[in-house]
């Protein structure tokens, strides 16, 4: 090699090395450092004044979530896409991820996104589902995490409690920041005419179709139904808890508190069923079924109404009618309301809404069971220490008389 050629080669290698390193540095600067600066500025501008942090238990749960690879089937990132927003809620903002060391965004969804899981399902639903996913969702492909329990879903170890605490924290910081938090984020967002950035505030923060919503309006269910389709839907989605014949004895029933309703022991108005199916039953493991159309829900409601054996109850002995009214007025109105509509003065305070007897009529036996034993997992306590047998019987009869039937509205 001549000296000139050698120098040219040395120059070309120098240029190559600088160029190679330069390309790499450029990629880190453009796709790492610069986005980081933008996102940090966004976080400062859009976060609520005192955003919620994670508790020690939630942090431990987060580590378990990472350890078990939950993020490889469940994303924690709602994209700026209408399909994502309709299913899960508001797109994930930068400030919501500010404590994620490391991030758990994920790149695969076998199960649904969990960004808005907080207050979407009850703790015992989660315990039962983690212990035995198919006891709740027969077609689920989720692994069972029996190692987090002492042999039963009702015996969660601390790890299970931590994990569920973590799941129940997902999206909580944004929800608890409330409308003023959203307003602050919107003001801090340099959205201007950026349609995509504005999507972050376009819909409800949590749009999870399974989230129980107390007191929301439910759609009117169509009158004509496909009973066969309803039976399939019931078997696929309801039977694990409520049992194949509606007796509240499905495989998951023993894992849940309050226990799933015994559908065969109640008369329900159509509105009552529409409400329970569309809104779920807050405070219980009963989720909302908004993924399904009113047609599907109507078919399920028809199946549920078919479980009631419809036996005629023995008439109330004369003389007890007045007693029932007195007992009810003295003991039950606080929660169940004067006319039994579940709207007593204390009702709003209770985690599980008191039964609305106008829309739901328990059988005499079911009513007596509730009065004698209370309803575990709800504020309904046993009344045997305060009421005698005649009073219990009278009250059980009385509430049945409050039922308004389908013509109520």
Interface positions, 58-77, toward other proteins (CB under 8 A): 65-73, 75, 77
Q: What are phi and psi of 191, to 5 degrees?
A: -70, -45
34 Cβ contact partners less than 8 Å away, ≥ 6 residues apart: none
- Could you tell me if 194 and 202 are in contact, meaning their C-beta atoms sit under 8 angstroms apart? no
Q: Which of 54, 134, 214, 343 binds other proteins (CB under 8 A)?
A: 134
Binding mask 248-267 for other proteins (x = CB under 8 A): --------------------
The CA distance from 79 to 93, in Å, is 10
Kindly tell me which of 38 and 228 has the beta carbon lying closer to other proteins.
Answer: 38
- Could you tell me if 211 and 172 are in contact, meaning their C-beta atoms sit under 8 angstroms apart? no
CB of residue 114 to other proteins, shortest distance in Å? 12
94 binds other proteins (CB under 8 A): yes
Within residues 31-60, the interface with other proteins by CB under 8 A covers 31-32, 34-36, 38-40, 42
Which helix (H) or strand (E) covers residue 233, if one does? helix 227-233
Burial class (CB in 10 A: 0-12, 13-18, 19+), 106: middle
Return the bridge partners of 206, or none. Answer: 89
Q: In this structure, what token pair is assigned to residue 315?
A: 């008439």
State the number of binding residues for other proteins (CB under 8 A). Answer: 78
140 binds other proteins (CB under 8 A): yes
- Could you tell me if 115 and 171 are in contact, meaning their C-beta atoms sit under 8 angstroms apart? yes
The CA distance from 137 to 275, in Å, is 21
Residue ranges of E strands in 336-393? 360-362
Kindly tell me which of 49 and 101 has the beta carbon lying closer to other proteins.
Answer: 101
83 binds other proteins (CB under 8 A): yes
Within residues 263-302, the interface with other proteins by CB under 8 A covers 291-292
The CA distance from 96 to 170, in Å, is 9
The CA distance from 306 to 298, in Å, is 12
Kindly tell me which of 108 and 339 has the beta carbon lying closer to other proteins.
Answer: 108
Find, among 62, 51, 85, the residue nearest to 173 by Cα: 51
Residue span binding other proteins (CB under 8 A) among the ranges 29-37, 218-226, 366-374, 375-383: 29-37
115 binds other proteins (CB under 8 A): no
81 binds other proteins (CB under 8 A): yes
Q: Which of 45, 48, 54, 80 binds other proteins (CB under 8 A)?
A: 80
145 binds other proteins (CB under 8 A): yes
Kindly tell me which of 66 and 317 has the beta carbon lying closer to other proteins.
Answer: 66
Q: Which of 109, 186, 214, 295 binds other proteins (CB under 8 A)?
A: 109
CB of residue 402 to other proteins, shortest distance in Å? 36
96 binds other proteins (CB under 8 A): yes
Q: Can you tell me whether residue 18 is helix, strand or coil?
A: helix
219 binds other proteins (CB under 8 A): no
Return the bridge partners of 266, or none. Answer: 362
Return the bridge partners of 267, or none. Answer: 361
DSSP state of 152: S
The CA distance from 294 to 264, in Å, is 22
Binding mask 222-241 for other proteins (x = CB under 8 A): --------------x-----
144 binds other proteins (CB under 8 A): yes
Q: Which of 51, 57, 97, 184 binds other proteins (CB under 8 A)?
A: 97
Q: Which of 45, 48, 52, 98 binds other proteins (CB under 8 A)?
A: 98
176 binds other proteins (CB under 8 A): no
- Could you tell me if 396 and 371 are in contact, meaning their C-beta atoms sit under 8 angstroms apart? yes
Within residues 344-383, the interface with other proteins by CB under 8 A covers none
DSSP state of 146: G
Q: Which of 44, 55, 143, 244 binds other proteins (CB under 8 A)?
A: 143
The neighbour count for residue 114, using CB atoms within 10 Å, is: 26
27 binds other proteins (CB under 8 A): yes
141 binds other proteins (CB under 8 A): yes
Residue span binding other proteins (CB under 8 A) among the ranges 9-17, 249-257, 268-276, 319-327: 9-17
């Amino acid at each position: 090699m001549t000296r000139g050629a050698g120098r040219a080669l040395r120059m070309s290698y120098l240029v190559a090395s600088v160029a190679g390193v330069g390309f790499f540095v450029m990629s880190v600067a453009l796709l790492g450092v610069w986005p980081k600066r933008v996102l940090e500025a966004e976080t400062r501008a859009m976060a609520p004044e005192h955003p919620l942090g994670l508790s020690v238990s939630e942090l431990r749960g987060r580590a378990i979530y990472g350890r078990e690879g939950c993020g490889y089937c469940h994303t924690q990132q709602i994209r700026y896409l209408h399909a994502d927003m309709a299913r899960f809620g508001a797109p994930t903002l930068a400030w919501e991820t500010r404590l994620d060391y490391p991030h758990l965004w994920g790149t695969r969804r076998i199960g649904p996104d969990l960004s808005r899981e907080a207050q979407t399902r009850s703790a015992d639903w989660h315990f039962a589902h983690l212990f035995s996913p198919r006891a709740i969702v027969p077609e689920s492909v989720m692994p069972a995490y029996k190692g987090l329990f002492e042999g039963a879903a009702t015996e969660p170890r601390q790890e299970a409690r931590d994990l569920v605490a973590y799941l129940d924290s997902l999206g909580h910081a944004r929800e608890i920041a409330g409308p003023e938090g959203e307003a602050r984020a919107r003001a801090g967002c340099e959205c201007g005419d950026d349609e995509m950035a504005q999507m972050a505030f376009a819909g409800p923060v949590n749009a999870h179709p399974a989230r129980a919503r107390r007191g929301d309006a439910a759609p009117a269910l169509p009158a004509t139904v496909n009973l066969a389709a309803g039976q399939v839907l019931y078997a696929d989605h309801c039977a694990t808890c409520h049992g194949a014949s509606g007796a509240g004895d499905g495989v998951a029933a023993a894992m849940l508190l309050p226990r799933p309703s015994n559908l065969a022991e109640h008369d329900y108005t159509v509105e009552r069923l529409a409400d329970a199916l569309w809104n779920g039953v807050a405070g219980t493991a009963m989720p909302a079924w908004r993924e399904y159309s009113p047609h599907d829900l109507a078919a399920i409601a028809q199946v549920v109404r078919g479980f009631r054996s419809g036996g005629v109850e023995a008439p109330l002995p004369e003389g007890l009618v007045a007693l029932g009214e007195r007992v009810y007025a003295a003991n039950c109105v606080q929660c169940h309301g004067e006319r039994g509509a579940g709207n007593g003065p204390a009702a709003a305070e209770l985690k599980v809404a008191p039964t609305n007897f106008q829309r739901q009529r328990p059988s005499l036996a079911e009513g007596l069971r509730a009065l004698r034993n209370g309803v575990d997992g709800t504020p309904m306590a046993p009344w045997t220490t305060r009421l005698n047998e005649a009073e219990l019987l009278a009250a059980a009869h009385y509430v049945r008389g409050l039922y308004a039937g389908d013509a109520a509205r």
